[in-house]
Amino acid sequence: MRLIASCPKCQRERLPGEDACARCGLLVARWEGFAVEEPHHPALEEPWQKLQAEWQDDAAHTRFLELAATVDGLDVAAAKYRRRQLATPDDERANKGLTRAVNMAQTLYKARAAAERPPRAPMILKIVGTMFAGLILLAALYVVMVTFVRPRSADDAARMQNQQTRPPSAPSPSLHRQTSSAPPPASSAPRR
């Protein structure tokens, strides 16, 4: 039994003693039964046959790739060029066609992705949104300050000022006034 020299999945050359492909991991035991499904597009089959008849004409390659791009079949075109490249590795037109097909597909898919991306918000909306968020933050800070910091009344402020200006040994007149103006306690004993 003859061993296959290269991986049927990624075309990496097999080194002696390898049980699996070092690039894609396909087991050597499965190489013979591995079937590569090539992409297919009905609109490109006949043009590919015509292209093979006119293989040396660069304009024919350009027409084929432009047709593949219009029918969304650049992956199929790349697969066909890849198959031709594997069959004849030194075919410069196959290498060039494969490279062009891949580059065109990347450019086309990037353009589609950019077109499908939602539009960016105008700068004025970003500025207004940031200012609105700042106002909400300031309002929240104000609510926290009002809730947790007890405002001082005028009496509290005057009392604090008197305590700071009087020496600590002198009694506060406001306390004396409160005790002296209080009515005497009523006696609980009944009168006779």
List pLDDT tens digits, range 31-76: 777 666 677 788 989 999 999 899 999 999 999 999 999 998 888 9
Q: pTM of the entire structure?
A: 0.48
Q: Are residues 24 and 82 in the same domain?
A: no
Angle between helices 154-165 and 173-180 (to 10 degrees): 120
pLDDT at residue number 17: 79
Q: Are residues 66 and 102 in the same domain?
A: yes
181, part of any domain: no
Domain boundary among 89, 116, 143: 116
82, part of any domain: yes
Angle between helices 58-70 and 42-53 (to 10 degrees): 180
Q: Which residue has the higher pLDDT, 140 or 151?
A: 140
Q: Residue 10 sits in which domain range? A: 1-36
The CA-atom distances, in angstroms, between 59 and each of 67, 125, 167 are 12, 50, 107
105, part of any domain: yes
**What total number of domains does the chain contain?**
2
139, part of any domain: no
Q: Are residues 88 and 32 in the same domain?
A: no
